[in-house]
Structure 1
Amino acid sequence: MPVRLPRPHRDDMRIAVGGLLGGLLLWGIGLSPRGPQEAVVLWPARWAPLVPLVVTAGCELLRRTRPKAALLIGTAALVADTVTRGNLVTVVMFTDLMYAAVLYGTPASARRLPWVTGLLTVTSALVPLAVWRVPQTLLIGVGVGVVALAPAATGWVVRDHRDAAEAARLRAEQTALLAEMDRAQAVTAERARVARELHDVVANHLSAIAIHSTAALSLDDPATSREALAVIRENSVAGLEEMRRLIGILRDGDADSAPAATPTLDGLSALVGTARANGLDVTLDAGREKVPAPVELAAYRIVQESLTNALKHARPGRVTVCLTRRDGMLDIRVTSPYGHGDGPRAPGSGAGLTGMRERVALLGGTFAAGPDGPWWTVRAVLPVTEGDPA
């Protein structure tokens, strides 16, 4: 199967055509670097310089797609040009082939060519000088340096700058990609945080509303209905207040929003009081020691969600909330009677346990929830940083 050469670049076609036309112009007016009687001219025919000219122009078509092959063929054409009357455009196009071989060739060729041409330049200057002892022979090395070393060195400098620019561009793209990944992770983490806060804020009050509204609809007792409506109103107002606090967090920095207060362990008594008003028999055992704000918020939300789950799912009986700090850890334990009662229940989605587990994981603690004999136990152990609570 024949090998199909790639299509030459448009600029390479312009260079090839321009070089060929320029060489033909110099040949047409008879401008040659050597006369037909010079000793080096082994091919004195007037048309002879056209052969290396055409070959070198053809090599220009490959300067970008096949730089190594173009340089090898162009070198052979340059050697052939030296035994004719010569054409200056052939030499100029050869220097471009040397430049392109370094710029577009493989990294190994790009590193090797400047050294090879440098060694060739020094050899071309010193060997004739040592043989003939004539200072003018140094001009041979100068000519080789101009034709070979200079374009090779120029191509290396340009390639080095181009590679540095490409590396900088890749680093910028990687930095932008990492920044986008960080932004996406931050958005995901913030959405998870808001989801936990929203669930904890709404679930407690809406569960109480659902249970008491079900009781009010199922019992034909005006006193019971009035009591249930009072609880529903209380939970509605509290839920709205919590929602306003959450909106204040989401709209942080808005001049029209009031500062949002973060729940603390000091609010556990009020939280337990609300749970009792909703019908739970709750016992609270919590110390008054200060802990860092993130730990306080996580502990408050874990207790809140545990009481909400007890309200929705537990059998009638005593619910115990115990918080103990020892050995640099805050131990949170909430137990409730395991199993369903006969009263009205609110549906659950399992998001509460997920939210508690995420809160504990963010603080590097441990979490467990499940049946323990006749009790459902929620236990979380949170590490407490020593020093001033933040």
Structure 2
Amino acid sequence: MPESSPVRRRLFDLALWVLLSVPVLLRSDPADGGSWLQVAVGVTVLGGCVAVSRRWPLLPVAVTVAASLPASLELFTPSYSLALVAFGYLAGRRQDHARGSLWLFGAVAAVGLLLTRLTGTSLGPWFALLLALALAIVAPWLVGRYVRQYDRLVRSGWELADRMEREQAAVADRERLRERSRIAGDMHDSLGHDLALIAVRAGVLEVDPGLGPEQQRAAGDLRRAAAAATERLRDVIGVLREEGARAPTTPPDETVAELVDRARASGLDVTLSAAVPEPPGMTGRALHRVVQEGLTNAAKHAPGAAVTVGLRETASRVTVRVVSGPGTGSGPPASGGSGLVGLDERVRLAGGTLAHGPLPGG
């Protein structure tokens, strides 16, 4: 059963005890020929059964049956019939396994048959006992088992959904980290190139005869510092890159126009509409990756479709738009969207926003 607070459990048990005690009070009233002793014993027994019903769900059923059989071999007594139904349901609701209940039901039937033989009565009361057992105990027990299984199924569904949501978030986080690793590789390519140029120019100054010894020594120090910085940069980026990750096959200085030409040469029907020059630095690399991912998705999910790549500049930003029509082929199934997660991270780090999805016209 779902966990609840101790106060709610106590209130439920108290209300159940009061409800089950009402038939005992009505049928054992001294004014109707009963006695206060029967009232006290019945109410006390029911209170004890309610108290132990959470830890030993089958014990209240057995005690109530034992209290009912001396009064009627047919197992139907106005004082305890409601208790049989309630404890039968709670046993099915709270029990982990059904074997003990089946043994109890068989034992009740066997004891009823034995009492019938010992008292010398016909089998009619025993068949009535079986009917009362089926309707007052077994049927509520089955309902309780169904409710328990349904609750477990619902909880399992919510747990599965929660686990899938966490796994999806973990995949998105890994893709963001992977994209940052690729950005680190791009930084290595660009900064390494700049540092190499600095080292080359410092080397030229180091051997320039027009400079004095102090200037040549300073140029040599600059060349060595640039070389050491390049080595440290390579080591740091090597740590940040994923294990087994290969160097990017795309040239680091490839423009969007060159990328579109390469895609067109590969057979993709793509048109470039560029109204502005491409921005430099990280923004330009993000722009390049947006177009690259858009062309890749168009080729994968809309084969044969015409693709349009547009670049335009507003007052404060550069906008790139990649649009493809419906494909003429079946194409592979859609991916999980991890490429778009990484692309969104790259665009965000460059100070931009990314939007993707179907157009209103389809």
What is the TM-score with the length of structure 2 in the denominator?
0.48
Higher relative contact order (CA 8 A, sep 6+): 2
Indicate the structure (1 or 2) with the bigger Cα radius of gyration.
Answer: 1
Higher strand share: 1
